[in-house]
Amino acid sequence: MRWLTLWLSLACQSLLAAEWFPYPVRADGRMLDYRPLPAASQPWRICALLPHGKDRYWWGVAWGLDQEARRLGVRLGIYEAGGYEHADVQVEQFGHCVAEGADAFVVASINTYDLCSAAEVQIKAGRPVIDLVNRLECPGLSAHSRVDFADMTRATLKYLVRVSEGRPIQVGWLPGPADAGWVQDAERGLRDALPGTRVTLAHGGYAPVDRSSQAQLTRELLKQHPRLDYLIANAEAAAFAAQLVRNIGSETQVLSFYATERVLEQIREGQVLAAPTDSPVIQARIALDLAVRGLQGEKLPQLVSPQIEMLDADSLDRFDLGRLMPPEGHWMIRQELPD
């Protein structure tokens, strides 16, 4: 762990010392270098809603939002619902932000549609609603700052097919919570990528991305399919599976279809084979900049996506960790919307 702490500290010091932009993105289908506003025209009040704060993926999102708010000079509230099983809490938090008079909303949604009616009211009133990371699928949203998880799983399967040299392989699949938009996207990408490969897929089922739920599914999947060549999983399941296969002497190799600090540590230690990153810190920064641009009357792109990068033992040393997680010593940021 010591190597990761030092590496993370140096990487994030570098990110703080220099501006994070220009940053290569795909915006409405075109590749370009994203350049945010130098500052907001006034201290807008913006609410950010996140599904939970249980891991450093979402700590990184919260940190990116907070850092960009400071850079732009806006006031930011950050709320997390406590888990994907608490969709009702996120709806309540959106209502709380409305009652507090928020000027704009950045939403990493728990469910794909739950907030649509509330978002529509705010958009019609001239208050931007920006979709962040998870896919909030509502008509008329101001903009989307996210990477399509279909592309994440396509990249993961493409990598797996390459390293397996095209031989027939059995692959386990543990995506996460069934109702989450990012999981639905991930499954769509996997379905699209399977034809033409020699992959036999074993689906392990759905559950929230907490350790207990994913551990149960992982154990059951490996019990039912003890000869899996590979397991592609959400980060929590992948992290647990990497330990389990070692303990039981299984030859199954584990991949995550997105990267977290723990997954990167296990890649470095040879326990996880690879994972793609969607640069969540950058997604968060872009989402907040889009919210400010919308408030200031600019025409917004509909979808802005940082480039996906596949991380394995060979590529990890070249990767800037400040795109993925906060510096060492920074925890989940939760804060009320300032007056």
Domains plus CATH for the chain? 24-146+279-306 (3.40.50.2300), 149-277 (3.40.50.2300)
Q: Which residues contact 318 (CB under 8 A, 6 or more apart)?
A: none
- Alpha carbon separation from 268 to 159, 229, 262, 264 (Å, rounded): 17, 20, 10, 6
Residue type, 264: L
Among residues 116, 130, 254, 109, the alpha carbon closest in space to that of 182 is found at 109
pLDDT for residue 166: 87
Sheet arrangement for strand 253-256: 199-203, 169-174, 230-233, 253-256, 274-277, 309-312
pLDDT for residue 59: 94
pLDDT for residue 148: 95
pLDDT for residue 18: 54
End-to-end CA distance of the chain: 40
Low-confidence ranges of the chain (pLDDT < 70): 1-18
Residues 176 and 207 sit within 8 Å (Cβ to Cβ): yes
User: CA-CA distance, 159 to 74, in Å (whole number)?
Assistant: 41
User: CA-CA distance, 306 to 308, in Å (whole number)?
Assistant: 6
Alpha carbons within 13 angstroms on the beta-carbon side of residue 119 total 27
The predicted model scores a pTM of: 0.88
Sheet arrangement for strand 129-132: 30-34, 23-27, 303-306, 143-145, 129-132, 104-107, 45-50, 75-80
Residues 284 and 306 sit within 8 Å (Cβ to Cβ): no
Residues 227 and 174 sit within 8 Å (Cβ to Cβ): no
pLDDT for residue 16: 47
**Placement of tokens 């350790």 in the chain:** 211
